[in-house]
Structure 1
Amino acid sequence: MASSESLETNNDLISIMPAIVTDKILKHLPLKIAAKTSILSRTWRRIWLSCPYLTFDETFWAGFHNVDSTTDWQKGSCIINNILLHHNASIHSFYVVLKPNNADADLLVDKNASLSQWLSVLAKTCTRKLVLRNCARKWHNLVILTSYIFHCTKLTKLRLHCFVLIAPPFDFKGFPHLKHLELYFMKFNRGLDMLWSIIAKCPCLVFLRLDNCLGVDILNVDAPRLEKLIIRGISDSLCLKKAPRLTDVLLCSINSKMKGIKTVVATIKSLSSSYNLQSLEIEGNLSKLLAAGGINKSLPVAFNCLHRLCLAKLDLSDSDVFCFTHGMLQSCPVLRDLEISIISPSNAVGHSNVHQSNHYNYELRKLQKVKITGITGSSAELKFIEYVLAKSVVLEIMFFKCGKQDVVSEHKVLKQLIRFPRASTKAQFVYMEE
């Protein structure tokens, strides 16, 4: 018969869990719950203080219910300080949200000091993934990131929201291991030259995203291993420098006008000739700006490796946009996946002869999947959809969704779509519900 001691040992499975198992458990627990695991057994008493994944997100801040949001910040930052002070292992991932408050302007100095302290600790613990989110409501309430951010040289992923990034120190040699960089609503105190110089010192960078950063007007990327690039925001011009491995690009502009449209046209042409792109997304007003800027004269160009094309917010009743859209299809001989979103047609008239032109006979020999949303039933839209169905010889499925309109109008559009002849006998229509 087994002794009581051996039974107790066999039953205490919690205490004998391998470290790899406890790490995975703590990784998926909110920090406050992870701290409570200290009562499970003596072995678990300090395990949570060696958890390599520290997350101080909205759930963390939701635990404070003071009327004074300044007090919430002081208590929360004090807890973070104590956890970092007593942490006894490497920190692989650090995620923190700086919640907005009524006295945001008065707390900028305090937040800046706290961030400096946290970053100095993270630099010593060889942190690999760092996410800092400042929930600022206005540009002048951005928190300044001190130079300690440049001491975290072991980073492989860095994501920053709503900060002012200062120039790196003179002895900064870059982020030699950084593969993933995302910057949202960022401001650079010495302009974009500083940003591009930092990117140039990230030799392993694979993914780069710049989302609504202040003053991003010239895209001057020198990243030999970059594969995916996302640029969103207000831009005057875009110009790629060097990224030989680039395969996935998303460009979005919310400008109504663009001063350097010729540069953008040149960029699109260079994307076709200098890079082996597999996925291209053009969003915002960029399609209309490109069409108005004369890119139609350069089409078709050769995107010989492009498998996926996404064109957003198209007004196909605009003859320039219609020609641009068709020209892009002609430029992608191996296109397999097409996604288009349509906006309400303009009041422009007199372009029907362009839509009815007989030279739209280019066959889409590889196209298998199509998704078209925002359909209003205009003659230009229906003509384009009819063309896609008639020329896609291996089409398998078409997803479609109408724009905001009454039930009768929507039913009329659906009847017209179903009647269109299809070159592929396997093509299926799938209506997308709300």
Structure 2
Amino acid sequence: MMPPKGRKHCRSLLPDVLSYLPDNISDVILMHLPCKDAVKTSILSKKWRYHWCRLTELKLDESLWKTKKDLLNPTVKFTKIIYQLLTLHEGPITKFTLNVAHLESCPEIDNFICFLSRNDIQHLVLHLPLGKMYKLPSALFTCSQLRHLNLHNCSIHHLSAFQGFNKLISLELCGVTISSEVLESLISHCPLLEQLVLDIAENSNTVEINAPMLSSFNFSGNISSICLKNVPCLVKASLECDYIKAEDLDFAKVFESCSALEYLLFNLFNSGYSGRLRYEGR
């Protein structure tokens, strides 16, 4: 039985349609696919071969290397993928997400971060393994185009060559090992910072937040270690405090310059007190 003429005609045109799609439409299609599937489009036609190498947004997670018959160590597979990206990718990468939180240890990604620093990275998300803290290379702090930075489970040391993130508007640090001095310096060198999320329970020293454009602040840890020194635009604050009594809070010190504050939420948890304080309105 012969197939209908319309269907046969459609099938014969399909390769041509794919081959002659404008680049901007091809880019949109690829960006909506998981990275693994985007790479597979290389088999569609000569035009699609290695088209994924020009993607400006990339997301790498365990779905790239996890299979039912894993013969190679996940870290080895990940290292091979990173090498291919370094070798084949062309043009800028404006958004990059790396989620390897489930690996036993952090693979070597210093070279790739250096690669991103030279390719106009604007949005960077790193979710790293919980084990030994990965020390971020100094190249990360030369990414002058960064607008969003999200870091999980890593360590930040001295910022000797750091000139500031002059375009950064959101910063999230969770499970990050960092000294009070370095944290203060990092925040104060982000003049456009609007959103700040900190989950740094190990830092017991006082940290002064100097962020004149900050409008939203979420903090988890010990509230006595935070002083909102210069935050005239702060509208919303959410603070989760561990191991501190409500009567020990120095509100004058914590909220030294919050003239625009409209919403405040406290969650207090410790052996002697468990409660919730909420404030709305000025």
Task: Identify the TM-score tier after normalising by the shorter chain.
Answer: 0.7 to 0.9
Going from structure 1 to structure 2, the CA distance change for 1:167 and 1:78 (only over 3 Å counts) comes to: same
Going from structure 1 to structure 2, the CA distance change for 1:220 and 1:269 (only over 3 Å counts) comes to: closer
Q: Residue 186 of structure 1: SS of its match in structure 2?
A: coil
Going from structure 1 to structure 2, the CA distance change for 1:216 and 1:202 (only over 3 Å counts) comes to: farther
Deviation at 1:75, TM superposition (A): 1.8
Q: Which runs of 5+ in 1 are unaligned?
A: 1-7, 290-312, 316-323, 334-434
Match of 1:16 in 2: 20
Identity of aligned residues (%): 27
Distance in 2 separating the partners of 1:232 and 1:251: 6
Deviation at 1:233, TM superposition (A): 1.8
Distance in 2 separating the partners of 1:149 and 1:254: 31
Distance in 2 separating the partners of 1:58 and 1:278: 41
Distance in 1 separating the partners of 2:46 and 2:70: 34
One-letter amino acid matched to 1:86: L
Q: Does 1:132 align with 2:89?
A: no
Match of 2:110 in 1: 116
Deviation at 1:270, TM superposition (A): 4.3
Contact 1:130–1:159 (CA<8 Å) still a contact in 2? yes
Match of 1:168 in 2: 159
Q: Does 1:95 align with 2:81?
A: no
Match of 1:83 in 2: 85
Q: Residue 221 of structure 1: SS of its match in structure 2?
A: strand
Match of 1:413 in 2: none
Match of 2:189 in 1: 201
Deviations 1:314-337 (A, max 9, x none): 48xxxxxxxx77xx57xx47xxxx
Deviation at 1:144, TM superposition (A): 1.1
Going from structure 1 to structure 2, the CA distance change for 1:245 and 1:193 (only over 3 Å counts) comes to: same
Going from structure 1 to structure 2, the CA distance change for 1:256 and 1:224 (only over 3 Å counts) comes to: closer
Deviation at 1:101, TM superposition (A): 4.5
One-letter amino acid matched to 1:163: C
Match of 1:261 in 2: 248
Q: Residue 187 of structure 1: SS of its match in structure 2?
A: coil
Distance in 1 separating the partners of 2:171 and 2:83: 26
Q: Which runs of 5+ in 2 are unaligned?
A: 1-11
Distance in 2 separating the partners of 1:153 and 1:65: 42
Distance in 1 separating the partners of 2:67 and 2:98: 15
Deviations 1:80-135 (A, max 9, x none): 12112210111011111234445x4xxx6xx3xx2210111001101111111112
| Pick aligned residue for 1:37 from 24, 37, 41 | 41
Deviation at 1:219, TM superposition (A): 3.8
Match of 2:4 in 1: none
Q: Residue 99 of structure 2: SS of its match in structure 1?
A: strand
Contact 2:177–2:200 (CA<8 Å) still a contact in 1? no
One-letter amino acid matched to 1:285: F
Distance in 1 separating the partners of 2:89 and 2:38: 13
Match of 1:386 in 2: none
Contact 1:38–1:46 (CA<8 Å) still a contact in 2? yes
Contact 1:174–1:202 (CA<8 Å) still a contact in 2? yes
Distance in 2 separating the partners of 1:237 and 1:261: 12
Going from structure 1 to structure 2, the CA distance change for 1:161 and 1:13 (only over 3 Å counts) comes to: same
Q: Does 1:148 align with 2:134?
A: no
Query: Which structure ranks higher in relative contact order (CA pairs < 8 Å, sequence separation ≥ 6)?
Result: 2
| Pick aligned residue for 2:51 from 33, 47, 53 | 47
TM-score (norm 2): 0.85
Deviation at 1:261, TM superposition (A): 2.8
Q: Residue 229 of structure 2: SS of its match in structure 1?
A: coil
| Pick aligned residue for 1:276 from 260, 263, 272 | 260
One-letter amino acid matched to 1:234: N
Structure that is richer in helix per residue: 1
Q: Residue 95 of structure 1: SS of its match in structure 2?
A: strand
Deviation at 1:64, TM superposition (A): 7.5
User: Which stretch shifts more, 209-218 or 146-155?
Assistant: 209-218
| Pick aligned residue for 2:176 from 186, 203, 208 | 186
Q: Does 1:27 align with 2:21?
A: no
Contact 1:233–1:252 (CA<8 Å) still a contact in 2? yes
Distance in 1 separating the partners of 2:64 and 2:241: 35
Structure that is richer in strand per residue: 2
Going from structure 1 to structure 2, the CA distance change for 1:167 and 1:270 (only over 3 Å counts) comes to: closer
Distance in 2 separating the partners of 1:222 and 1:53: 32
Contact 2:220–2:239 (CA<8 Å) still a contact in 1? yes
Deviations 1:300-327 (A, max 9, x none): xxxxxxxxxxxxx648xxxxxxxx77xx
Q: Residue 208 of structure 2: SS of its match in structure 1?
A: coil
* Cα-Cα RMSD: 2.8
One-letter amino acid matched to 2:75: W
Match of 1:234 in 2: 222
Distance in 2 separating the partners of 1:257 and 1:217: 17
Contact 2:15–2:45 (CA<8 Å) still a contact in 1? no
Going from structure 1 to structure 2, the CA distance change for 1:220 and 1:256 (only over 3 Å counts) comes to: closer
Aligned residues: 271
- Rg larger in structure: 1
Distance in 2 separating the partners of 1:31 and 1:255: 43
Distance in 2 separating the partners of 1:128 and 1:269: 31
Deviation at 1:213, TM superposition (A): 4.5
Contact 1:181–1:209 (CA<8 Å) still a contact in 2? yes
One-letter amino acid matched to 2:267: E
